[in-house]
Structure 1
Amino acid sequence: MIRMKDQIGRSRTIGHFKGGNGGPTMIFFGGIHGNEPSGEQAIQEVFKGIAENGISVNGNIYGIRGNVAALLAGKRFLDGDLNRLWTDEKIEKIKAKAENELLNEDRELLSIHQVLSDILKTESGPFYFIDFHTTSSKTLPFITINDALINRKFSKLFPVPIILGIEEYLDGPLLSYINEQGYLALGFESGQHTERAAVDNSIAFMWLALVYSGALKRVDVEGFEGYYLQLQNSAQENANFFEIIYRHPIVSGDKFHMLPGFKSFDVVNKGKILAEHNHKAVLALQKSSIFMPLYQSQGEDGFFLIRKTPKLALWISVLLRKIRMPALLPILPGVSWADKKKGTLLVNERTARFMAKPLFHLLGYRNRLINKNEILMTSREATAKNKMYSGTWWYRNKKSV
């Protein structure tokens, strides 16, 4: 039996389908940034399609609004970026605030945090967390993930580019926080903010994800093949893995202007002028592809640079992780456990220079904090709840990386 809970207006919950026992629990977020309403709209349209067509649901499907107040205002955020607050330290500080001290995004975080806690306490896994976003520039649709094999394997089912390494450059995204708890989590960037195609791509992605997870049966989703082709065509048949190699940061008070005409995945040559930052030209440091150039007033990321990840490197990383090679890292000079349970390493800066960053990446480690003498490296593989997903068809697929 299926029942749907839908609340009127801009409440936290878009809707909830509860189906039979034994299925997955899927949680879709829309509007974590208030100027990105496409995900919220897509969730509403898919939920409507499930209800009107009487489609049988296995497990649970949740739709959750992100920054409700910012969505109403049509702004990325009101007081601060909600998608930069999700660290244990920041969450505890927000919880410790008096009621009259809470900023808008503090309240949004506490509300979402409570919803997530309730879902994890009352529902059964496997859990899938998917966060819908859009960009200020034109782009192919793409997936961003923290580099855990459960994220890789599930993401590879979709015919769009997959971006690794975002957690190394951003502090406090919602999905990184969820990944630290060991759950599968991915972000889907569906297109430019104002394009209808961004809504359509999110709808297609959501239907595919619901089928791939086992929440819906493929035969019950009319036009399933069409949704796949839609994403494949929108992505121009680009389903490669890419690695972020550079982020251009912006701080409050800076004057940043991205040169017009760039879109994500455009190839740029070394020395090409990309932007103007505090009246100085910003040049591409090497031949690469530009990624998420900023064409809006709010934001802390001017642009990123990415490069394609060779398939051989992906397969080597799988092998090294399966034979538990990362566990041997602390025997090296200058490397010690900062938190063995969380898979966090403390690496001497000299050792880090000797052991090239790509090697740590192969083993699943990413920089999270750098001080004068030491680098803190974290691994999503160490905390990933692989057993929760080990029975799924996509996890057992040996051809997947």
Structure 2
Amino acid sequence: MAQALSAKDTHLKRILGHIKGREPGPVLVFFGGIHGNEPSGVQALQEVFGELQRNPLPVKGHIYGIAGNIPALLQNKRYLEKDLNRTWFREDITALEKGERTGMTSEDKEMLEILGVIRDLLKAHEAPFYFIDFHTTSSKTLPFITINDAMINRKFARKFPVPIILGIEEYLEGPVLNYINEFGYVSLGFESGQHASEEARVNSVAFLWLSLVFSGALEEEHVKQFRTYYSELKQSAANNRNFYEITERYAIESGDTYEMVPGFYSFESVKKGTLLANHNEQTVVAEKGGILFMPLYQKQGAEGYFMIRRIPKWVLALSATLRKVRADHLLAALPGVSWKNREKAQLVVNLKVARFYSKAIFHLLGYRNRTLDRDHLLIKNREKVARNELYEDAPWY
């Protein structure tokens, strides 16, 4: 097992490392430890930056490593007062910065510090950005990528030999990557394995090196173990490179008692009626058969588990074609669907009129939804903000 961060890490700094390349190139920004009980990302960043400092390579652009929830990392807790990865709301940030909110939490302070770093980097560089957030899960799992569903994220994520999850932003509010996605840059989350496991650390190191090569920051020939890293990830992912989408989130409220039945793991198929957990002294069973995803085996957390389903390749291909021809403009002609404003980046769906429309139609065209009230959905198109032109010369585009 990999070890949690120890007393020797009490000097942990926000900027874990920075490598300035010899030539212009991409700017890669890696986050580790946004959750304090997930040390593998920080350890991987420390290892790779250490290697690059001992044995410099011809890097292009810039590479940054950012530590997340430092106080929680040092106590090996997911968070101290509230989940740092559920706090990234523009309205809340504005209120905090204006001093309009009292009772600032430890995580509020961490968020504002990280936000300051992000803003500084965006001001300092004009090159294409890649934001990558390292995480681990409380259950056993294949390594996997989560993305907000813009085509630039899909294209870059496809380079890695691991499964890719779409749609999690519909079920989680306030993750750091949701905030960053609004800038239109490539961004993804990488879940490397189970908390504090050696496999999670190894997978994080491999993913980091592959990211440097796939983004163009390093040439493959300069990373001597590139094929080894690729093979390690492919084997750890059991040759699974499928796309999946979230279909269900089992929510837990603060103060609830929740205990997952031991032994479940991510990507495990379960049958209808399978006993999954005990929640507030009531049994929880699978309402229908499906693929279990991220079952909760830790005390802190608001999601007991998710369910996912595989997305057929033809659906992904159709989706890409429809977005290319901007077929989403046809949606506003449907009864009960209208543009929210002149920018035409968001649609409002009146469920009284459009209750029979499938979410799959909106997903095909790059929209993800958020509930406004009982009768209305706000759906936002990720393609509208995606800065595709910055990546046209990238090796993966």
TM-score for the superposition, normalised by structure 1: 0.94
Contact in 2 for aligned 1:160/1:239 (Cα 8 Å): yes
Query: What is the correspondence of 1:261-272 to structure 2 with a 5 Å cutoff?
Result: 261-272=263-274
Q: CA deviation at 1:379?
A: 1.5
Q: Name the structure 2 match of 1:188.
A: 190
Q: Name the structure 2 match of 1:253.
A: 255
Q: Name the structure 1 match of 2:287.
A: 285
2:128 corresponds to which of 126, 129, 132: 126
Q: Name the structure 2 match of 1:3.
A: none
Q: Name the structure 2 match of 1:209.
A: 211
- What is the CA–CA distance in structure 1 between the aligned matches of 2:233 and 2:335, rounded to whole Å? 47
- Taking a change above 3 Å as real, the CA distance of residues 293 and 131 of structure 1, as seen in their structure-2 partners, is same
Q: CA deviation at 1:8?
A: 8.8
2:89 corresponds to which of 87, 90, 93: 87
Contact in 1 for aligned 2:145/2:164 (Cα 8 Å): yes
Contact in 2 for aligned 1:24/1:124 (Cα 8 Å): no
- Give the percent of matched residue pairs that are identical in Structure 1 and Structure 2: 54
Q: Name the structure 1 match of 2:315.
A: 313
- What is the CA–CA distance in structure 2 between the aligned matches of 1:366 and 1:98, rounded to whole Å? 31
Query: What is the correspondence of 1:99-118 to structure 2 with a 5 Å cutoff?
Result: 101-118=103-120
- What is the CA–CA distance in structure 1 between the aligned matches of 2:10 and 2:29, rounded to whole Å? 19
Query: What is the correspondence of 1:125-164 to structure 2 with a 5 Å cutoff?
Result: 125-164=127-166
Equivalent AA in structure 2 for residue 287 of structure 1? G
Give secondary structure in 1 for the equivalent of 2:384: helix
- What is the CA–CA distance in structure 2 between the aligned matches of 1:137 and 1:226, rounded to whole Å? 26
Q: Name the structure 2 match of 1:61.
A: 63
Q: CA deviation at 1:109?
A: 0.6
Q: Give deviations 1:323-367, integer Å, cap 9, x for gaps.
A: 001122112221111245371111001344221111111011111
Give secondary structure in 1 for the equivalent of 2:29: strand
- What is the CA–CA distance in structure 2 between the aligned matches of 1:226 and 1:251, rounded to whole Å? 43
Contact in 1 for aligned 2:19/2:62 (Cα 8 Å): yes
Contact in 1 for aligned 2:10/2:74 (Cα 8 Å): no
Q: Give deviations 1:244-296, integer Å, cap 9, x for gaps.
A: 00000111111111110000000001121111111111121221110000000
Give secondary structure in 1 for the equivalent of 2:299: coil
- What is the CA–CA distance in structure 1 between the aligned matches of 2:354 and 2:287, rounded to whole Å? 22
- What is the CA–CA distance in structure 1 between the aligned matches of 2:304 and 2:344, rounded to whole Å? 31
- What is the CA–CA distance in structure 1 between the aligned matches of 2:101 and 2:43, rounded to whole Å? 31
Task: Name the count of aligned residue pairs.
Answer: 389
Q: Name the structure 2 match of 1:398.
A: none
2:17 corresponds to which of 15, 18, 42: 15
Give secondary structure in 2 for the equivalent of 1:368: strand
After alignment, is 170-179 or 337-346 more displaced?
337-346
- What is the CA–CA distance in structure 1 between the aligned matches of 2:353 and 2:144, rounded to whole Å? 34
Give secondary structure in 1 for the equivalent of 2:77: coil
- What is the CA–CA distance in structure 2 between the aligned matches of 1:99 and 1:148, rounded to whole Å? 34
Contact in 2 for aligned 1:342/1:383 (Cα 8 Å): no
Flag structure 1 segments of 5+ consecutive residues without an equivalent: 1-6, 396-401
- Taking a change above 3 Å as real, the CA distance of residues 98 and 357 of structure 1, as seen in their structure-2 partners, is closer
Q: Give deviations 1:102-146, integer Å, cap 9, x for gaps.
A: 210110010000100000001122100000000000000000011
Equivalent AA in structure 2 for residue 142 of structure 1? F
- What is the CA–CA distance in structure 2 between the aligned matches of 1:150 and 1:204, rounded to whole Å? 22
Contact in 1 for aligned 2:335/2:354 (Cα 8 Å): no
Q: Name the structure 1 match of 2:338.
A: 336
- What is the CA–CA distance in structure 1 between the aligned matches of 2:336 and 2:232, rounded to whole Å? 49
Q: Name the structure 1 match of 2:26.
A: 24
- Taking a change above 3 Å as real, the CA distance of residues 339 and 294 of structure 1, as seen in their structure-2 partners, is farther
Q: Name the structure 2 match of 1:71.
A: 73
Contact in 2 for aligned 1:244/1:304 (Cα 8 Å): yes
Flag structure 2 segments of 5+ consecutive residues without an equivalent: 1-8
Instruction: Please report the RMSD computed on the Cα atoms of aligned residues, expressed in angstroms.
Output: 1.5
TM-score for the superposition, normalised by structure 2: 0.95
Give secondary structure in 2 for the equivalent of 1:285: coil
- Taking a change above 3 Å as real, the CA distance of residues 197 and 64 of structure 1, as seen in their structure-2 partners, is same
- What is the CA–CA distance in structure 1 between the aligned matches of 2:213 and 2:343, rounded to whole Å? 33
Contact in 2 for aligned 1:342/1:378 (Cα 8 Å): no
- What is the CA–CA distance in structure 2 between the aligned matches of 1:249 and 1:94, rounded to whole Å? 27
After alignment, is 34-43 or 331-340 more displaced?
331-340
Contact in 2 for aligned 1:154/1:394 (Cα 8 Å): yes
- Taking a change above 3 Å as real, the CA distance of residues 334 and 201 of structure 1, as seen in their structure-2 partners, is same
Q: Name the structure 2 match of 1:238.
A: 240
Equivalent AA in structure 1 for residue 158 of structure 2? K
After alignment, is 18-27 or 195-204 more displaced?
18-27
